[in-house]
Chain A
Amino acid sequence: MLGNIIILALREIRRNVLRSFLTILGIIIGVAAVITMVTVGGSATAQIQQQIASMGSNLLMVMPGKRMGAGMEAGNVLFKEDDAVAIARDINSIAAVAPVSTRSLQAIFGNQNWTTQVTGSDNVFIGITNRAVKTGRQFTDNELRSGAAVCILGETVKTKLFGGQDAVGEKIRLQKLSCEVLGILEPKGQNTMGMDQDDVVIIPLKTLQRRVTGNQDVGVLYVSVSNNASTEKVQQELSVLMRERRHLSPSDDDNFNVMDMKEIAKMLTSTTQLLTALLSAVAAVSLLVGGIGIMNIMLVSVTERTREIGTRLAIGALEREVLLQFLIEAVVLSSLGGLLGIVLAMASSVLLTAVLNVPFIFNGSIIIISFLFSAAVGVIFGYMPAKKAARLNPIDALRYE
């Protein structure tokens, strides 16, 4: 008997191609939207967390200016190399300090040119920003002290200027400065803000100051806190020390600020998570809309289906046989829609993560949840009208309008 009922259900699906198609479509769209949003969002969050891990442990940045973002104000008092020395000397629990200044310059090699961030610093900077020299070598103390015309290239700059060619030992021009390429950095990828961390040229700070900016200023101090020390405490001590060195009275505001890179990264993570949650909510709405679409189709066809139920009952079908048929129809359509939705979601997730340049991370639970939800929607809305009709006297079902 079950076999016969299954045949009846499949016949009904095949006969009503449009109705079946619309039902499936509603489920496909809902399921695919939810899975795609959650998977892509999850992948983006995971990537940010990866980037935090790669950023270097316990990195603080001391920047001139009052608050984050206000650094562009004119009249900011910049740092000197002495500040870096003082910090390293006066504050405990500090692993390393790197004074950093940057300029955006055009790098030229042969007929290739590329505008990039030229960073004046030292080997410590390379270490605490979790970089490493892949080919070639770091700066020597002598080169750092004397401000030699040497540089280390990020992967992006190397590729733009040299392509596949060997760069170490060649000379590139940075504005008027001609400098020798000592080494190439290990690629690092994008940072949490989506900036290319390999689009960089590192030269000794002295070289930048003397040959490019023409002053002794230092833009940012990178401070790496020892592993077991509290970042908050160091942050406070840094604040006290800098106020002292800048002769600020207690009533004055700080004219510098100390940023914890981890904090920023965490903020970004939570922003991404919030965004993911929002997108997922939008997706959930689309799942719901898909569900309502299914409901509509079912309700529109309820007159015809009620008559059909009346006919079946009149011919001698039992209530439960009619219901079983409708249940099978609903389950088959919903699962088919759900499965197609999952396939579509996987394809679009892989595509989207590739476009957004984030790693694809498979999320099994959202697949199961959205599949079950859509199946429930399909089954409930496919089944409920039948449930009502199958209880009627056949003649009332046949007369239904």
Chain B
Amino acid sequence: MSSLSTSQPLTRAEGAIIELSGVSKVYGQGRAAMQALAGVDLRIDPGDFVAVMGPSGSGKSTCLNIIGCLDVPSSGAHYFEGVDVGKLSHNQRALLRRHYLGFIFQGFNLLNRTSALENVELPLVYRGLPAPQRHERAQQALVAVGLQGWERHTPGELSGGQQQRVAIARAIVAGPVVVLADEPTGNLDSARSREIMEILTELNRKQGITIVMITHESDIAAYANRTIHFRDGHIERTEHNGGKV
């Protein structure tokens, strides 16, 4: 187990899929200002599987939201496949999310009163896929997360773990390049957690999908290639897992 300080700024390297350079995020203004991120430098190569750990409030979600183009940094640069995301418009960022990213939210964010199948179909609707293909692929994604037979159920009729799996199916259904997961096993018992982690590991190994995953549990983080530790809005250290699991 080796650790590496990443406090020195990175130069823009060719081939990185995600790159953060001096990214800061401040919420609020004046005396109420809250520095959630304080100069984060991070480089993630295609096909990597990165776990993010750290105490509550250390800025993990904030960082992941920026990587996922759901939020913009207060300062610093964010590159996606070498493209400066800060220079993209609202719509261009939406298109980037549509075609490259899959997001698994901390609170699922499924549409209420909407069946699991329709929730999973949603990214495909915005990709303009015709209905028959949509159904088929959504169905496959639900099977992949072990939810066959639950297609017609709405989030209100599903357990937390099942909702989590619907959220995973929705994140992977459109074949993203990067999957960003905010505590994907946070609501699950260890058996279910292992199932979810096997799904994610398989996506990473077999399809080469880059994964960035926040977790509080080190045995979950151990599925990743490396673990980034956050503290007070910056990366404290990076830990390489060296082929564990």
Contact = CB atoms under 8 A, between A and B. Distances in A.
B152 interface: no
A8 interface: yes
25 contacts: A4-B125, A11-B118, A16-B113, A307-B109, A313-B94, A313-B97, A314-B68, A314-B70, A314-B97, A314-B103, A314-B105, A315-B97, A315-B170, A316-B99, A316-B126, A316-B127, A317-B126, A318-B126, A319-B90, A395-B65, A395-B71, A396-B71, A398-B70, A398-B105, A398-B109
B83 interface: no
Contacts of B118: 11
Contact of B90 (A1, A307, A316, A391): A391
Contacts of A314: 68, 70, 97, 103, 105, 109
A393 B109 contact: no
Interface string B63-83: 001001011100000000000
A318 B128 contact: no
B135 to A, nearest CB: 12
Contacts of B68: 314
B164 to A, nearest CB: 15
A317 B90 contact: no
B70 A8 contact: no
Contacts of B131: 7
A312 interface: yes
B57 to A, nearest CB: 15
Most chain B CB within 10 A, of A308, A318, A319, is at A318
Interface string A7-24: 110010001100000000
Contact of A1 (B109, B111, B113, B128): B128
Contacts of B174: 316
B126 A321 contact: yes
A15 B113 contact: yes
A131 B73 CA distance: 90
Nearest to A1: B128
Which 9 A-B pairs give the minimum distances between C-beta atoms?
A316-B98, A395-B70, A395-B71, A394-B70, A316-B97, A15-B113, A311-B109, A315-B123, A4-B125
A319 B94 contact: yes
B90 A312 contact: no
B151 to A, nearest CB: 15
Interface string A109-132: 000000000000000000000000
B112 interface: yes
Given A317-B126, A321-B126, A394-B70, A310 B109 contact: yes
A387 to B, nearest CB: 13
Interface of A: 1, 4, 7-8, 11, 15-16, 304, 307-308, 310-321, 391, 393-396, 398
A341 B70 CA distance: 43
A312 B98 CA distance: 10
Given A318-B95, A391-B90, A395-B71, A312 B122 contact: yes
Given A315-B170, A318-B91, A308 B111 contact: yes
Contacts of B148: none
Interface string B118-160: 1000110111100100000000000000000000000000000
A120 to B, nearest CB: 79
Contacts of A316: 94-95, 97-99, 101, 123, 126-127, 174
B90 to A, nearest CB: 6
B218 interface: no
B114 interface: yes
Given A304-B112, A315-B98, A316-B123, 10 more contacts: A11-B118, A310-B109, A311-B109, A314-B68, A315-B103, A316-B99, A316-B126, A316-B174, A318-B95, A398-B70
A386 to B, nearest CB: 15
Contacts of A4: 125-126, 128
Nearest to B100: A316
Contacts of A310: 109
Nearest to A320: B91
A365 to B, nearest CB: 41
A267 B169 CA distance: 75
A395 B25 CA distance: 13
A224 B91 CA distance: 81
A4 to B, nearest CB: 5
A378 B39 CA distance: 47
A391 B113 CA distance: 25
A194 to B, nearest CB: 55
A317 B65 CA distance: 17
Contacts of B97: 313-316, 394
B153 to A, nearest CB: 14
Contacts of B105: 314, 398
Contacts of B113: 15-16
